């Protein structure tokens, strides 16, 4: 692919690597078949080939990226399925990393998004705090593992699973179909009506 980077932009080694990766791409489209966001959404800008064009325009211009460009680049999962499918050997990981660092320095996100990202960073990097926020789910997931050693060996696996996973709901009076019981209790309390 032909690029038009200004000389002052290429003094940055990361930009030089990005320019090299952009020149390697031939827009064959093999990468789109392996991209989960492209397969799910069907938008060319949500596939590697479309993102490469967006990254090229953003990095070449040197201007702050648009909200539309940021949205499509943020949707990339960085699974790098496109990198393994690429016959030209485009270093997509270096390209998306350079673009994301460029976005972080040149784009001001809306306050709600900044707050949500700060919350995620704060909670996910602290296991004890994450357990407090998501403790209920963690306890339910940990319980079958703890009970697995206590289950009788002659009991079939399916029966053990039902006992271990449905036991807490039955102990609270939810019966065999906890979702229906919870919905009935919510209707009786007038919640969601």
Tens-place pLDDT, residues 63-76: 899 999 999 999 99
Q: Is residue 4 part of a domain?
A: no
The pair phi, psi for residue 52, each rounded to 5°, is: -65, -40
**80/162 same-domain check:** no
Instruction: Check pLDDT > 50 for residue 162.
Output: no
Percent of the chain with pLDDT over 90: 37
Residue 22 near residue 52, CB atoms below 8 Å: yes
The pLDDT confidence band at residue 169, using thresholds 50, 70 and 90, is: very low
The pLDDT confidence band at residue 166, using thresholds 50, 70 and 90, is: very low
- Pick the last residue of a domain from 52, 76, 108: 108
Rounded-to-integer distance, Cα 72 and Cα 66, Å: 10
**99/151 same-domain check:** no
Q: Is residue 115 part of a domain?
A: no
Q: Is residue 2 part of a domain?
A: no
Q: Is residue 1 part of a domain?
A: no
Q: What is the pLDDT of residue 49?
A: 92
Q: What is the pLDDT of residue 105?
A: 92
Q: Is residue 135 part of a domain?
A: yes
Selected residue with higher pLDDT from 14 and 145: 14
Residue 58 near residue 99, CB atoms below 8 Å: yes
Six-digit token string for 98: 């350079």
**156/101 same-domain check:** no
Q: Is residue 47 part of a domain?
A: yes
For 130, residues 6+ apart whose C-beta sits below 8 A from its C-beta are 123, 124
Average pLDDT score over the chain = 76
Six-digit token string for 117: 């990202």
Number of domains in the chain: 2
Q: What is the pLDDT of residue 193?
A: 47
Compute the Cα dihedral for 5, 10, 12, 13 and give only its sign.
Answer: positive
Selected residue with higher pLDDT from 143 and 86: 86
**86/157 same-domain check:** no
**48/99 same-domain check:** yes
Domain that holds residue 18: 9-108
């Amino acid at each position: 692919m032909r690029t038009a980077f200004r000389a002052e932009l290429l003094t940055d080694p990361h930009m030089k690597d990005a320019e090299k990766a952009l020149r390697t791409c031939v827009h064959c489209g093999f990468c789109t078949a392996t991209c989960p966001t492209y397969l799910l959404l069907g938008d060319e800008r949500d596939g590697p080939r479309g993102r490469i064009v967006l990254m090229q325009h953003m990095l070449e211009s040197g201007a702050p990226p648009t909200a539309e460009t940021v949205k499509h680049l943020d949707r990339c999962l960085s699974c790098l399925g496109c990198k393994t499918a690429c016959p030209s050997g485009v270093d997509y990981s270096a390209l998306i990393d350079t673009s994301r660092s460029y976005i972080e320095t040149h784009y001001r996100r809306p306050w709600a998004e900044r707050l949500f990202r700060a919350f995620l960073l704060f909670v996910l990097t602290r296991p004890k705090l994450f357990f407090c926020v998501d403790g209920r789910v963690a306890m339910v997931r940990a319980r079958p593992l703890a009970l697995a050693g206590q289950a009788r060996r002659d009991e079939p696996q399916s029966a053990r699973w039902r006992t271990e996973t449905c036991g807490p709901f039955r102990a609270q009076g939810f019966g065999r179909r906890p979702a229906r019981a919870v919905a009935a209790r919510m209707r009786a309390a007038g919640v969601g009506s």
